[in-house]
Structures are given as structure tokens and as C-alpha cells.
Structure 1
Amino acid sequence: MKCFHLLFLLLVLLLEATTLKPILAHSSQVNDANRIRCLEKERRALLDIKGELVDIHGRLSSWGNEENKRDCCKWEGVHCHNRSNHVTQLKLAFYQLQGKISTSLLELEHLRYLDFSENDFEYAPIPEFIGSLTKLRYLKLSNSNFSGPIPHQIGNMISLEYLDISRNGLEGGIPKHLGNLNSLVILYMNGNNLTGDLHELISSLSGPTEKKLEILDLSMNTISGLFPNMSRFSSLMTLDLHENQLTGPIGEDNLRLPNLTYLDLSFNRITGPVPDLSISSSLQYLYLSNNMFNGTLTQSIGRLSQLQELDLSINEFLQVQFSHRWAPDFQLEYLHLSGCKLGNYFPRWLKTQTELLFIDISGTGISDTTPSWFGSISPTLMYINATNNQIYGSFPNFSFSSGGPLLPYLGSYRRVLDLSRNKISGSVNFLCNITDWQLLDLSDNLFSGQIPDCFAKFEWLVYINLANNHLSGEIPYSFGSLSALSLLHLRNNSLSGGLPTSMSNCTSLEMIDVGDNRLTGKIPDWVGNSFSEVRILILSSNGFHGSVPLSLCRLANLQILDISSNKISGAIPDCLEDFTAMREKQNPYLFWGPKETFPFTHRLENAYLMWKGKEVRYVNYVGLVKLIDFSNNNLVGRIPSNITKLVGLVGLNVSRNNLVGPIPTDVGELELLNFLDLSRNRLSGSIPNSVCDLSHLGVLDLSYNKLSGRLPRCSQGLTFDESAFEGNVGLCGLPLNKSCPGDKSHESPTSRVGGSDAGEEFEYDRFITGGFYIALGVGFVVGFWGIFGTILFNKTFRYAIFKWWDTIYDLVLVRMEVNKVRLWSCFQKRRFRQS
């Protein structure tokens, strides 16, 4: 019986223990949750740190003295050690903090991780006391608007493994003590204003640092000098020195880095041959673009079996030519050879590259047909740029897979094809084999036939340029399915018919250029109703007829409207003042493009315009041009007076029409005008005096109208010759050789100056006006807009204009010297007579 009782007692105790265990555990957890882990000394230090920061967005609102905020280990961005409860990490990146960093940071003696990146410390220097945080292993202060020198105290940190002070305004060099950081593995100093000789800067890292350093980024600074020997950094895996001012060749042994996987020396001035990098057998990313490398790239580069990305572009003296049988060991994903010399023949070694995603062989001197295998070189190829070569023959059909991977270089972009400025012929039907095109540029080739009507499923297409080819037929109806289309270039072909009504669905269009074709019909009303985003509309040199639709005035964003050389009749609409964008004076440093801009060489702002009588291609600065061109039509009626409200206009051309009435009296309000052509109409009345306010005017043509009266007497003088006013029999005054009624063209010299030598004085004055000021006038005509405008807008003209200017400048100087001699002669003659 006693044994039974004992057994019962044991069972009760066991049951109690089993029941109480979860209760006690829960009680322990509750107490743990309510327990304040934060150490009081460190809590006060954190509050002091907050007190000297400006937290405009309240990101540190969890930091406080209230009862529910006393545990600093739960504060935003604060992390404590699980056992010791010391604050070990302070992560305050992207908080948009201002103010300054408090010295109370030193109270956090066990801090291992500190991140103040992506804030704004308003050009303050990096605090020197940070160097006293000797237990810190991770320090990130990038893009936080620090300035001044790098504090040498950072060299005292005997535990730092990661240091990032990139993208600030730091100046000077690298402190010598940084070489003492025997734990440093990663060092980012890119995007600052660091200067000095690279050899000296690298010497500052000599010592324990050079043995362990794996990542060194000094890119985007102003570091100069020759390339030093980096071989002693034996652990280096990433070396980035791009966008500096390095010069000279790279020594044969200066890049013996066996662990190197990433090397970027692009955008410097390095010369000589490309170094043999075969010792870096793990190299995956090699960027040497925009330098001055020369000679022939050796076949040793083919031994880099891990190489994935190769960029040798814009090294115009570098020859990348291999034998037809050369087969490299690597399989590239990214190949950029733009501007190198590949030779006349299409590089056959590309046939071995079956994993390519990106290839740019533009401007490489290829004069060959495209081999048939190129269409299936890689099923995942997403970006092809072969522009500006001499490639001829037909282009092969594609057998690429649709919906390939998105490239990190292209962001969210899909497939890109640029074959522009070659001599490729045949049809463009090969485009129909792929539906995920996003950019298509086949301009300036010899393509012929009709544009295939296969665009119904091209949902990604944003840019299509088929200009300057021999295409015929009508614009495909399926263009109306291109809902993402932003820019459409079809100019200078032989397209016929009208604009298909389906295109009214292309509501994302910002630029339409169908000039120089054989299009007919009326300009549809839906152009103004559907294309609310359009900024450039060019319909010139076609067969459009009828009146200018009033709906065009709804295009508030319009900057360029060109309907010249058609058969447009009727009056110029009175609603032109509704072109809101033309009423704004454009900041010359602001340019526009579509909401998303294509990478690399593709800028989506280019247009062909008739400018000063010549067709000009504007590439980079078309956003500056605000132009209306109604010339060479059958327009009647008056020039609307409210056209002078378009104060942003740079060019206005309504010549070769049947316009009547006066020139708007306040035409001077268009003060940015560089080009004004009202010639060959039936305009009457006098030339308004406000013309004198057009200080930027480089070209003026009012010829062959019915204008009358005296030419305005401008204080700066009209700087145009007679041809600007000829054909107006009623005009008189300078510079026309015709006196106005009442002028005293032959008044007595004595009545003007008196004295026996008055005739000499009169001759002297006439000489000054006719010679000296004309010479100055030449300088003015080719002045700010005459030269700067053309230079600004067109690279091709830039070189021609500078050459032309040198000639004009020399002529002006010669004329001025002749004038000085003649003036001195007159002066001496007068003195002689007086004596």
C-alpha cells in the first residue's frame, strides 16, 4: 500500500512539472519581452546623436525618453549584441538626415558597423574623431555631401574591413596612414575630387593594406600620372580607375594580378598596347574603352576563359583583327568594340560566341556582307549595333528567341537593332520574325520594297527609324497597334497614300517625321486630337492639301511644326498662341527626350529640319529648337498678330505663300528669333521698328513683297545686305541704295562741319560707315546665333564653320588694318592742310 501511495505521489509531481513548465517558460518570455536591454550610457549617447541631426522626415521618431521608447535596442536603425546588449550596429542610410555627427558617437565603444550613407551633411568634413572608433569593421559614408580632405585618423582603425567614402566632395590625396589598415578588404573612394599622381596615391596604401585589399575603386576622380605597378596587391579582385586622367602606357608587369576578376580603366588617356592579362585567368569583366590604346590586340586575350564582358570601344588606333580560324576560349555576354579597327571583313570569330546578349561593332570599318550565320549567332541576343560601317547586301533573317532575358545594361528594355548608316539593301521583312523589338533603326541604307504590315504584336516598340531609304507603298495599318511608340521617323522614302486612321491610337507619340515622301490627302483632324504628347511634327515635302486643321492648336507640347512644301491652302489659324511650349523661353541647358532614354549611343532627340535654306540634322540639341515652317504652300490671308506671343520661337518661315497685310507690329516680342523668312508673299505696309529688338536674328528675308517706307533705323544697325529687302519697290533707306523722300543725300559739307577741310571730314565719315562698320557687321552676322547656334545644333557643321570663321576672321582683320592705314592717311592729310 505504501508503495502505491509513493507511486501516486510521483505521478502527481510529474504532472505538475509537465503543467508548470510551459507556464514558467511563457512567464520567462513575458519578462524577457518587457526587460529593457539597452544600456543607459549608450541610450543617452544615441539621444545626443539624434539631437545634433535634422530629421526632416521623422525617421528617428522611435528614438525617445518615453516609457515605451526607453529600450534603444528597438530603435530604428539600432542593433544590439544578443548577449552583451551593447550597441554594435548603427544603420542610418537613406534617412535624408542633415546637421552634423555628434562626438557622442564615441560613447558607443563596441560599435562594429556604421552607415551614414545617402544623407546630406552640407559640405562638412568627415569628423576626425571617427578614427577613434577602433573596433569599427564597417564604415559607409557614401553620397552624404561630405567635403574637404580625407582625415588621416582613419588610418588608426587596427579592425576596419570595409570603407566606403564614395560620391562625396572629398579633395586632396589618400592619407599615408591608410596603408596601416591590416584588415582592410574593400575600399571605395570613387566619385570625389581626389587629385594627384596615381603612383603617389597608391604608395599611401603600401604596407599591411596591400596584402589583403580585394576591392579598390578610385574611379571618377581627377587622378593623373602614369599607371603604377599594381602587382604587389596580390589579393586584388576588383580594380576600378575609370574616368580619371591617367596617361602613358601600362608596363608589361604592372598588372600581374592572378585573382583579378574585374578591371575598369575606361575614360582615361592610356596609350600603348593592351597589356597581356592572361595571368588573370579569373578575369570576367574587362573595360578599356575611351582611351588611346594602339597596336594590335594579341590573341592572348582569348585565353581568358572566364571573360563575360569585353569593352574596347572608342580606341580608334586599336586593331582587333584575328585570323579566320581564331577561336577564343571565352563565351562573352557583352561585347563592345565600337570605334576600333576590325578590318574590312566581318569578324568570323563571332560565330563561336553563342551566349551573346549585347554586341556593338559600330564604326569599325567593316566593308563586307553580313554572313548568314549572324542571324542565329545567339538565340538570346538582345542588342545589336552595327551602325556607321560599309556593310552591304541583304541582312539575314533572324532566328532569335523572343522574350529573352532583360539586360542589366538596358534596364527594362527589350530587343534593340541599329543598322543605320550602312549600304544594306533588300526588304525589311526580316523584322517580322521577332515581336519584342523596342528600338529599330535601319535609317540611311538602301532598303526597298514595302514596309511589312506585321506590327500588330509589337507591344514594346518605342522607337522606329526607317528614314533615308527607298521604301515604297503605304504606311502599314498595323502601325496603329504600336501603343508604346514614342518616335517615328519615315522621312525621305517614297511612301504614298495618307496617314492611316489607325495611327490615332498611337497616343504616346512625341515625334513624327514623315517628310520627303509622296503622301497625299488632308492633314487629319485626329492628329491634333490624338497626339497630345507630340513635340515634333514634320509633314514637309509631301502632297498634303486642304487647310491647316484647327485641331493642331491642341498640341500644347509642340515645339517644331513643319508642313512646308505641300499644297496647303486657306489661312494660318488664329489659334497658334495655344502652342504653350512655344510660349516658353527655353533654358539653353535643358534638353528633352522621351520619358525613358535609351542607353549608350541612342539619344532619342534628332530631326531633319530646313534651317536657313539647308536641310540640317539636329541630333543632341533639338530640344532647343522651336520652329514653325509653313513655307512653300498656298496659304492666304494675314499673318496672325498673336503669333508674336510665341516668344520661345527660334525660327519662323512662312515664305512662298500668298499672304497679305502687314508684318505684325510687335514682331520684336519674338526676341529669340534667329531665323525669320517672310519672303515671296504679298505683304504690305512698312517694316515695324520693333524689328530692331530682334538682337539674336542671324537670317532675315523680307524680299519680294509689297513693303514700303523707310527701313527702321536701329541703334545697332541692320546687319543685312540688300538681298534681304529686294523686290519691295516701296522701301528706301540704308542699306538699300535708295534715298527716302526728304533725305538730304547731297547736303553741303560746310553746313555740317564748316571750315575749308569740311569735305575731307565728310569723306572721312562716309569711309567709317561704309567700311569700318560693315566689317564689324560681318562679325555680328556670324555672331552669337550665326555661329554658336549652328555649332550648338550640328556636329557636322561645327568643323566646317570653324574653318570658315578662320577665313572670315582673317579677312576682317585685313580689312580693319587697311581701314587703319586709310584713316591714318586722312588724319595726316588733314593735319598737313591745317598747318
Structure 2
Amino acid sequence: MLSHKTISIKFILIVLLCMFVSGDAEVRCIESEREALLSFKNGLIDEDGILSSWKSNECCEWHGVGCSTTTSHVTTLKLSGLDNGGVLKGDVHSSLLELHHLNRLDLSHNDFGGIPIPEFIGSMKQLHHLFLKHSNFSGNIPPQLGNLTNLRSLDLSYNSLSSTSHSILGSVFESLEILDLSYNQLIGSIPDLSAFSSLTQLNLSANNFIGSIPLSISQLSELQVLDLSHNSLEGLVSASHFIKLYKLKTLDLSINSLTFDIPLDWSPPFQLESLSLGGCNAGLYFPKWIRTQRNLVSLDLSRANITDEAPWWLWSTFSSLGNLDLSDNQISGAIPNLSSTSIRYMDLRNNQFSGPIPLFSRVASDIFLSGNMLSGSISSICKTSNDKLQTLVLSNNQLSGEVPDCWENMPNLESLDLANNNFSGEIPRSFGNLDHLVVLQIRDNHLSGELPYSLRFCQELYLIDIEGNKLTGEIPTWIGELYNLRYLNFRGNKLHGIIPPQICHLTNIQALDLSINNLSSKIPDCFNNYTLLKTTDPYLSAPTYPNSTTVNKLYGYSSFQWKGKEFECKENLNLLKLIDFSSNRLTGNIPKSISSMRGLKSLNLSRNSLTGYITPDIGKLEMLNSLDLSHNQLSGKIPTSLGEVYSLGVLDLSSNNFCGKIPTSTQLQSFNASAYARNVGLCGDPLPKCLEDSLRPSTTNLGVHMNERDGNNFSFMEEVGISMAFGFIFGFWGIVGSFIVKKSWRIAFFNLLDDAANWLYVKIVVFVSKWR
């Protein structure tokens, strides 16, 4: 047995040895690698100070640099823009070749200005991981990358790379496990992949690949993620493609022209967690093999040409199913009680589901059921409290009854669409409890009463659409307090009274439709307050939603009248800029501030009782595409500046009191005569010529012979004849016409003639007497 003294001595020796080893293991920068890193830094543009720490002698302590604790060699260079909070620009310097032990290089999420991927990277054979994602590289993928035989991860996604897939895929990546070339411009077919036996993730989505999926993909037995979505692939997909994909967890073949030819009794070798076949032809019947995938978390069969009744097992088999998208098929059947499921996102739009709306899961966040045949009341939503729900879309169904007054149960609701149903009664006051509400669409129902005062508390409202109801009362003054409003549609109701001046406070408005009501005031002269309608810069009017999570939830902003037709705006909502006050009883002049809205694209003030003239500055509306001022009492001349609005595609000035000649311009003469009809004093192309134009002789072309003429020129003698004719007409009827109109002139004229005759008679008698 060892003595206590011996044990103590050995303990001290062990401690000293550990201290010696620890001190010896201190990481110190290797000078040659430090110089290489500084040369690399000199080729970069670092506007955000990402490399500000690259000054000290200890390069292993620099930001983004990782060194080996045993050799002190630089092994990692991680300068991803996501981690840095900024971006690097400039060039990637070849001094990185001096880092002979670098096995991980990450330059993702930077901006290298569209330069090609440097070829010298292909000489860094020690690399295990190369990440150049979203860094603005372009051109061909250098084939030299195929020399990186030790590479395990390669991510070149979200760039502008445009070479064929073959330039990098037959390459000898013997140990490659992760390959991501998604969101580029790669072309050609997908080559033989059998050599990539170690692949666990393959992502070629969002490119321009064509042809069929090679059967060699079935040999990738280690594959867990396969994403070939958003390409132009076509042909059959059979069970043979998946025969050895035992470990597959994610399969995404969506947005291709693929057709599935899989037996009804097929039993897949895998257990998927995510399946996306949206846009593919999955067959007329609901794929039965999906029932075997009990671990599904996400299922997308949208636009898959399915014409079948939803199987009962769909709603009960997948205990972990959180995302379900069956939209744009012809799937029928009833939707059962979903309160015990884990479905958070459910999109069943544009199918043939019938029956009442179901009870939703308490964890549901986004529900889309529009475009079906659902019927009955929606009062069932009052039975549960759902503080997760953000989007509820029930439009274009056959739902009826009153809109329930229990919306305090959904305090985080951001988008509500009940449009185009058969709802009746008043708008519920509990809408005012929706503090986060951004989108409210209840158009085309049978709602009555006034707008509830409680709506003024929905300060996040970005879009209100109540068109096509039976709402009464006046436009409330509190509407001007909803400062975030961009789209306001009150069209086709029974609102009366004035347009409140508070509407001038909606400085962010882009679309304002008050048409087909009983409004009877003057139009407030405050259009110069509308900031986004004054700009022609589309970037300034791009959506800035109060809550960014709502950006993708404006699925089809109802519709507006555009060029005389219903126009449904589903995308590029920020491009919609219009003012429509038509079909009311508005009076007074057109406000001069109209001309300040340089970004306005549609203006409709037709079918009112407006008087006065069109402002001469209307030509400042340089983006105007549609202008309708018809059926008013406007007068005066059409401003010449209107002919300078070259974007104008629709014009209607009919049924007014305009006069004078239509200004000559290529634009105004291109419209049909109906655009100017029923203006008694208006003339000129495309209407009949003005009188002064008809009476004014045309000049001859000096280069045309005197005796030659065409439809617009006359010879000299013809001009003399026409001039004499007009001279006689005006001379004769100018005098005779005056005598006809003025009796006293006639008497004086004939008395003068009598006196002259008497004088002449006396003179002749005297002369004759003298002569005799």
C-alpha cells in the first residue's frame, strides 16, 4: 500500500504535468497563415466593419477564424453574413491557398457582385465543408470543384449559377454527404447519381432541370432529404425510384410535370416526415400509400389533379400532422371535428368540401377553406378559445346566418376573410377586440346596419373590404384614425352624407373606393396628403405590413373595378393605386389637388353631379391608366396636358358639357368616339371636324404639281373658286341677313333707295332738257 507521502508527491507531479501540457497547448497564430488572412482581407470591401478585429497578432482570436488546439493551424473560416449582421463585398483572394489545413470555408450571405466562383478553390483539397450560399456568385460552376475529393458538404444555393448539372455532378465527390444547388439557373437533365452513395441530402430545387428523374436515384440508400421541386421535370415516377431509399424523411417533387404511376397496394420502404407533391399528377384517386406514412408532419397534395372523396383515415392517421395542403383539387366530402388534431396550417381552398365548418385544433394558426360548398352557421367558432389563430379564410362558400359576436376568443387574429357568402345581420362589435387585425374582408354578403364604432380600436388595419353589402349610415369620422390603412373599399352599399374631411388623414392610402353609395357632398380637396399616391417609385409603395407575418396571408385581395371590369388582385398588391367615387351624388368642382397624385393609375368620378372644368394640370398624372369622368356636368375645354399622359389606356368623358376642339395628340385621338359622346360643344377627331376646320381651306403641298390633287389638297383655280363662293355667300347674306333681322334698318335702307331714285330722276330730266 502506498504511503500518504508518496500519494501526495504523485498528485503534485500530475498537477504540474497538466499545467505544463495546458501551457504548451496554448493556441498561437502561425505567421504565414496570419499574412494569408490579411491578404484575403485586403481583397474585400468591409463597409460594416465585420473584420475590425483582424488587427492583433493572434489571428486565432479574430472574428470568424477557428484554429486547431493542438497544431494552431487555421481550420475554419466562417464569415456568413447571417452571423455577422452585415455583408462582405469585393473579391475572394487566392491567398486562401496558403491555409493548408482549412477544412471549413463559409462565405454565405455576402455580396460578391456577380463574380464567378474562384477556380482556385478547387485546389483546396483539404476542404470538408464549402458554403457559398446566397452570396451573389454567377457564371458557370468551375469544374475544378470536382477535385475536392474530401468534401462532405457543398452548398451553392441561391446564386445565379448557370452551367449544366453535368459540369459538377459525374465529378468525383466520393464522400459527399450534403449537396445543395437550389435556386440557381442550372440547366440540362439530372445525370446518373449512383456514384453519390454517401449522400444524405440532395437539393436541386428551383432550377431549370428538364427530362425525367433518373432511376439511379434509387441507389442512394443513405438519402434522407430529396428536393427536386420547382423545375421542369416530366415523365413517370414509379415505385422503382424509391426501392432502396430506406432512410428518406423528406420528399419534395412539387411544381413539376411528373405523373405518378404507383400501385394502389404499394408499401414504401421509408417513413416520411414531409411529403410535397403539389403541382404533380398524383392520379384521380387519393394515394392510398400515404396512409402508411404515420410520421408525417407535413403533407402537400395541392394542384395534384385528385378527384376523389377525402378518405376517413386522412383526418385520424397522422398524429403529428401539422401542415396539410390539399388546395386546388376536386376533393369532396365533409370535414370532421379537428379539435383533437395537431394541425396548425390547413389549406383546403378550391375543392368540393361540403357540410358545416369544423371545430379547429386549439393550436391552429392558419385556416384556408375558401372556394368550397360549406354551408350553415359558423357559430361553432365560439365553442373554443383559440389564441394561436392568425388567419381564417372562409370566403366563397354558402355560409349563412349572423356573423357570431365572439371574436375575443381569437385575440391574435390578423387576417379574416368571410367574403362572398350569405351572412346577414350587423357587423359584430367584438371585431374591436382584434388588436392585431390587419386584413378584414366581408364583401358580397347581406350585412346591414352601421360600421361598429369598436372597429376604430383595430389600429393595425391595413385593408378593409366591405363592398356589396347593405350597410347604412355615414362614413364614420374615426376612419381617419386608422393611419395604417392602404386599401379601403366601401363600394356598393347604402352609405349617405358627406365624405368626411378626416379621410384626408389616411396618408398611406393606395386604393380608395367609395363608389355606388348615396354620398352627396363636395369632394375634399386634400389628395396632396396621400403620400403613396404622389410617388411613382414602386419601392416606396412596397408593402410594409404592420406585422410581417401577414405578408404571405393576403391571398387575393377581393376585387376592385378596373377599366370597367371586376379586377381581383392576388399578387403585386402594392401596384394597385386607384380612386373611385363614382355613382354617388357628389357636387362641386373636381379638386385641384387631384393632379398631385403622380402615381395614381385609375381615377373614376363618373355618374355624379360634378361641375366646373378639368384642372389644366391633369397631365401631371403621368402613371394614369384609366380615367372616367363621364355622366357629370363638367364644362370647358379638355386640357391639352391630358394628351401627354401616354400611359392612358381607358378614357371616358362622355355625357358632360365639354366644348371646343379635342386637343390633337396621338393619345387622345386613339380612343373611340364614344369616349367623347354627348358633349354638344365638343368637336374634332375622333368626333366630326370643328366648324373652323371645315371652313378653313387646306394649303397645297408645294411639291405637288398645280394640276394634281389628292384628298387633302386643291388646285389654284379651285381655291380661287372656293374663295369667290365663300366671299359672295358671306357678303350677300351678311347684308341681307342684317336687313331681315333689323326692321328699322330695312325702312332706312328703302327710304335711302327712294331718295336716291328721286335724285337720279331729277338729274336725268334736267340733263335731257339741257341736251335738247
| TM-score, reference length from structure 1 | 0.76
Measure how far apart 1:154 and its partner are: 4.2
Secondary structure of the equivalent of 2:619? helix
Measure how far apart 1:650 and its partner are: 1.3
Contact residue 710 and residue 731 of structure 1 kept, 8 A:
yes
Match status 1:381 vs 2:343: yes
Of 728, 738, 749, which residue of structure 1 is paired with 2:679? 728
Contact residue 81 and residue 110 of structure 2 kept, 8 A:
no
Q: Paired residue for 1:164?
A: 131
Q: Paired residue for 2:467?
A: 515
Alignment of 1:421-820 (within 5 A): 421-432=371-382, 433-435=384-386, 436-529=388-481, 531-587=482-538, 591-592=542-543, 594-596=545-547, 602-604=553-555, 606-714=557-665, 718-737=669-688, 739-740=690-691, 742-745=692-695, 747=697, 755-758=706-709, 762=713
Of 322, 325, 328, which residue of structure 2 is paired with 1:357? 322
For 2:254, give the aligned amino acid: S
Of 163, 171, 175, which residue of structure 1 is paired with 2:143? 175
- Determine the C-alpha separation between the residues in 1 that align with 2:285 and 2:501: 59
- Determine the C-alpha separation between the residues in 2 that align with 1:344 and 1:394: 19
| Distance of aligned partners of 1:301 and 1:337 in 2 relative to their CA distance in 1, 3 Å threshold | farther
Q: Paired residue for 1:777?
A: none
Please, which runs of 5 or more residues in structure 1 have no aligned partner? 1-9, 98-116, 405-413, 765-835
Deviation sequence 1:770-800 (CA, Å, 0-9, x none): xxxxxxxxxxxxxxxxxxxxxxxxxxxxxxx
Measure how far apart 1:702 and its partner are: 1.7
Of 340, 354, 368, which residue of structure 2 is paired with 1:392? 354
| Distance of aligned partners of 1:181 and 1:632 in 2 relative to their CA distance in 1, 3 Å threshold | closer
Contact residue 132 and residue 156 of structure 1 kept, 8 A:
no
For 1:390, give the aligned amino acid: Q
- Determine the C-alpha separation between the residues in 2 that align with 1:498 and 1:321: 48
- Determine the C-alpha separation between the residues in 1 that align with 2:611 and 2:546: 42
Secondary structure of the equivalent of 1:557? coil
| Distance of aligned partners of 1:735 and 1:227 in 2 relative to their CA distance in 1, 3 Å threshold | closer
For 1:244, give the aligned amino acid: N
For 2:581, give the aligned amino acid: F
Contact residue 588 and residue 624 of structure 1 kept, 8 A:
no
Q: Paired residue for 1:243?
A: 206
Deviation sequence 1:283-342 (CA, Å, 0-9, x none): 110000011111434457652442100000012x33162577984143311001111022
- Determine the C-alpha separation between the residues in 1 that align with 2:683 and 2:297: 71
Q: Paired residue for 2:721?
A: none
Q: Paired residue for 1:281?
A: 246
For 2:583, give the aligned amino acid: N
Q: Paired residue for 1:417?
A: 367
Measure how far apart 1:712 and its partner are: 2.0
Q: Paired residue for 1:225?
A: 188
Match status 1:234 vs 2:184: no
Deviation sequence 1:428-474 (CA, Å, 0-9, x none): 22333352321111111111111111101322111111111111110
Deviation sequence 1:600-632 (CA, Å, 0-9, x none): 974456241112222221221332222111111
Deviation beyond 6 Å, 4+ runs, structure 1:
323-326, 748-754
| Distance of aligned partners of 1:285 and 1:599 in 2 relative to their CA distance in 1, 3 Å threshold | farther
Contact residue 36 and residue 96 of structure 2 kept, 8 A:
no
Alignment of 1:253-268 (within 5 A): 253-268=216-231
Contact residue 492 and residue 515 of structure 1 kept, 8 A:
yes
Alignment of 1:824-835 (within 5 A): none
- Determine the C-alpha separation between the residues in 1 that align with 2:93 and 2:257: 40
Deviation sequence 1:389-434 (CA, Å, 0-9, x none): 2223323333x2x2x3xxxxxxxxx611111112221112233335
Alignment of 1:397-408 (within 5 A): 397-398=359-360, 400=361, 402=362, 404=363
- Determine the C-alpha separation between the residues in 2 that align with 1:86 and 1:274: 49
Measure how far apart 1:175 and its partner are: 2.1
| Distance of aligned partners of 1:96 and 1:166 in 2 relative to their CA distance in 1, 3 Å threshold | closer
Measure how far apart 1:241 and its partner are: 1.0
Please, which runs of 5 or more residues in structure 2 have no aligned partner? 716-772
For 2:346, give the aligned amino acid: I
Secondary structure of the equivalent of 1:755? coil
Contact residue 548 and residue 572 of structure 1 kept, 8 A:
yes
| Distance of aligned partners of 1:345 and 1:86 in 2 relative to their CA distance in 1, 3 Å threshold | closer
Contact residue 326 and residue 349 of structure 1 kept, 8 A:
no
Of 156, 162, 168, which residue of structure 2 is paired with 1:201? 168
Secondary structure of the equivalent of 2:169? helix
Measure how far apart 1:564 and its partner are: 0.8
- Determine the C-alpha separation between the residues in 2 that align with 1:39 and 1:543: 81
Contact residue 27 and residue 72 of structure 2 kept, 8 A:
no
- Determine the C-alpha separation between the residues in 1 that align with 2:496 and 2:52: 68
For 1:250, give the aligned amino acid: I
| Distance of aligned partners of 1:92 and 1:653 in 2 relative to their CA distance in 1, 3 Å threshold | closer
- Determine the C-alpha separation between the residues in 1 that align with 2:137 and 2:54: 30
For 1:384, give the aligned amino acid: M
Measure how far apart 1:524 and its partner are: 0.5
- Determine the C-alpha separation between the residues in 2 that align with 1:704 and 1:511: 34
Deviation sequence 1:633-674 (CA, Å, 0-9, x none): 111111112221122221111111111122212222222222
| Distance of aligned partners of 1:79 and 1:589 in 2 relative to their CA distance in 1, 3 Å threshold | closer
| Distance of aligned partners of 1:641 and 1:298 in 2 relative to their CA distance in 1, 3 Å threshold | same
- Determine the C-alpha separation between the residues in 2 that align with 1:488 and 1:163: 47
Contact residue 356 and residue 380 of structure 1 kept, 8 A:
yes
Secondary structure of the equivalent of 1:526? helix
For 2:352, give the aligned amino acid: Q
Secondary structure of the equivalent of 1:319? coil
Q: Paired residue for 2:740?
A: none
Secondary structure of the equivalent of 2:496? strand
Contact residue 134 and residue 156 of structure 1 kept, 8 A:
no
Q: Paired residue for 1:314?
A: 279
Contact residue 462 and residue 487 of structure 1 kept, 8 A:
yes
* Structure ID, larger Rg: 2
Alignment of 1:113-132 (within 5 A): 119-122=87-90, 124=91, 126-128=92-94, 130-131=96-97
Contact residue 457 and residue 481 of structure 1 kept, 8 A:
no
| Distance of aligned partners of 1:693 and 1:547 in 2 relative to their CA distance in 1, 3 Å threshold | same
Q: Number of paired residues?
A: 701
| TM-score, reference length from structure 2 | 0.82
Match status 1:184 vs 2:142: no
Contact residue 33 and residue 98 of structure 2 kept, 8 A:
no
Deviation sequence 1:207-252 (CA, Å, 0-9, x none): xx32x22112222233333333322322221111112222222243
- Determine the C-alpha separation between the residues in 2 that align with 1:568 and 1:353: 55
- Determine the C-alpha separation between the residues in 1 that align with 2:166 and 2:390: 46
Backbone CA RMSD of aligned residues: 3.7
Secondary structure of the equivalent of 1:222? coil
Deviates more, 1:440-449 or 1:691-700: 691-700
| Distance of aligned partners of 1:584 and 1:251 in 2 relative to their CA distance in 1, 3 Å threshold | closer
| Distance of aligned partners of 1:705 and 1:444 in 2 relative to their CA distance in 1, 3 Å threshold | same
Q: Paired residue for 1:271?
A: 234
For 1:446, give the aligned amino acid: Q
Contact residue 460 and residue 484 of structure 1 kept, 8 A:
yes
- Determine the C-alpha separation between the residues in 1 that align with 2:28 and 2:191: 52
- Determine the C-alpha separation between the residues in 1 that align with 2:589 and 2:89: 60
Contact residue 36 and residue 95 of structure 2 kept, 8 A:
no
